[in-house]
Amino acid sequence: MKKLDWYILSRYIITFLFCLILFTLIAVVIDISEKTDDFVKSGLSASQIFQQHYLGFIPRIDAMLFPLFIFISVIFFTSKLAGRSEIIAILSSGVSFKRFMLPYIVGGLLFTSLLWMGYQYVVPNANKKWADFEKKYIDVNIGLAPQNATYKQNIYFRIDSNTYAGIKGYDTITKSGSNFSVQRFVNDKMVYNLRALNFRWDTLTKKWELNNVLERHLNAINETIVYSNKKMASYTFKPIDLRKDDYLKDQMSTKELNAFIEMERMRGSEMLNTLLLERYNRDAIPVSVLILTIIGAALASRKVRGGSGLHLALGVIISMLYILFSRFSIVFATKGNFTPLLAAWTPNIIFGILAFYLYKKAPK
């Protein structure tokens, strides 16, 4: 890295920070204008709203729009360099286009790593804070309370390859429920059946406390019945597994999400593709930062009559196409038979090919 490289890299970082702050302020202002009535109804102070909502909303929206901020930043400052003939001077001095792209690659890798780390650790925590506020103060005012109610009914799932569980009702807040049942099968024959009138999660022992329990052990000849007022049981499912809502997958760290995916795969869950898509996107979206950096630099490095305006217009069109491809992939993966891994990486594959083409064509 030479002085010229540091100059380009510093322009990259400064322009990105400017875009990040500007668009974040715009997003916050729009959000405030849309939710002013909800904030008033909540009865919270401005400080409480900021701590409970915007400390989660800002990292969430920034991570979501991070690749777009990068793309706009690269096109904007690179077109300025081209407009002032700085790029022509650099290339005329004997610097190859490949060497000229070095600080862009370094910056792209830097921001790719930053976003990847954010998706693994920071964004899930921010999503939890944002989602808790949304469920408590926003969804109830727009008629979404029934969908996100804390009380779940008629839950049926597989505990392991031979054991199934059923729950009549479960409250995700108190972590307690009623009419819990377990059936275990061997060679398609029931060998064990358990029924409990009610149950709850014991946070101290990390086990399920079952009350008024009736257990039946069956064999080919007879059965054994055991009744107990209270029973502490360890199962492979935890309270988080019973709290399936639209926000759940976004709030888990990657380690928790991986464990949850394995559990849902074993249970044959219908939401498995959605979980897999979320997991693969946490790796695919950061890579798009590097791809969009290369595309932006290759497009904006040529001096044209339209200047920054033309470059930004092209940037907006490409951004819209990228978002469109991403949306189509998500729909096909969650509603169709499209493989989640391929759905997450298809936009990167297509635009990676475009980036390679522009990178090769730009010097000419």
For residue 208, give Cα distances in angstroms to 196, 215, 230, 236.
Answer: 11, 15, 10, 11
Query: In this structure, what token pair is assigned to residue 208?
Result: 């399920």
What pLDDT is stored for residue 148 in this prediction? 45
High-pLDDT (> 70) share of the chain, %: 91
Mean pLDDT, the chain, as a whole number? 85
Q: What is the pLDDT of residues 268-319, one digit of tens each?
A: 677 788 889 889 999 999 999 999 999 988 888 877 665 566 767 777 788 7
pLDDT at 146 over 50: no
How far is it, in rounded angstroms, from Cα 140 to Cα 203? 29
The mean pLDDT value for 109-130 works out to 92
How far is it, in rounded angstroms, from Cα 198 to Cα 212? 7
What pLDDT is stored for residue 287 in this prediction? 93
What pLDDT is stored for residue 30 in this prediction? 92
User: How many CB atoms lie under 10 A from the CB of residue 185?
Assistant: 13
Residue 339 φ/ψ, nearest 5 degrees: -65, 130
pLDDT at 168 over 50: yes
Q: Which of 181-185, 226-230, 257-261, 304-308 has the lowest mean pLDDT?
A: 304-308
CB-side exposure of 251: number of CA atoms within 13 Å?
15
CB neighbour list of residue 23: distance below 8 Å, 6 or more residues apart: 65, 69
Q: What is the pLDDT of residues 193-214, one digit of tens each?
A: 999 999 999 989 889 999 999 9
Q: What is the pLDDT of residues 43-89, one digit of tens each?
A: 888 898 999 899 999 999 999 889 989 988 998 888 888 888 888 88
What pLDDT is stored for residue 41 in this prediction? 85
CB-side exposure of 169: number of CA atoms within 13 Å?
8
- Write out the H or E segment, with its range, that includes residue 178: strand 176-186
Task: Select from 243, 214, 216 the least CA-distant residue to 229.
Answer: 214
Q: Hey, what long-range contacts does 180-189 have (CB within 8 A, 24 or more apart)?
A: 180/210, 186/162, 189/218
Residue owning tokens 């897999």: 276
Cα 293 from chain centroid (whole Å)? 22
Name the band, by pLDDT with cuts 50, 70 and 90, for residue 93. confident
Q: Which of 139-148, 321-330, 351-360 has the lowest mean pLDDT?
A: 139-148
Report domain extents, the chain: 3-142+272-361, 152-244
Q: Is 349 helix (H, G, I), strand (E, B) or coil?
A: helix
Name the band, by pLDDT with cuts 50, 70 and 90, for residue 141. low
pTM: predicted TM-score of the whole model, two decimal places: 0.76
How far is it, in rounded angstroms, from Cα 175 to Cα 197? 15
How far is it, in rounded angstroms, from Cα 86 to Cα 69? 23
Q: Is 161 helix (H, G, I), strand (E, B) or coil?
A: coil
Query: In this structure, what token pair is assigned to residue 188?
Result: 């398609």
Q: What is the DSSP string of 77-118?
A: HHHHHHHTTHHHHHHHTT--HHHHTHHHHHHHHHHHHHHHHI
Q: Partners of 151 in the beta sheet?
A: 171
pLDDT at 16 over 90: yes
Angle at 334 between CA 125 and CA 66, to 5 degrees: 40
What pLDDT is stored for residue 62 in this prediction? 92
Angle at 231 between CA 230 and CA 235, to 5 degrees: 145
Q: What is the DSSP string of 33-61?
A: HHHHHHHHHHT--HHHHIIIIIHHHHHHH
CB neighbour list of residue 91: distance below 8 Å, 6 or more residues apart: 97, 100
Task: Select from 225, 158, 234, 168 the least CA-distant residue to 194.
Answer: 225
What pLDDT is stored for residue 145 in this prediction? 44
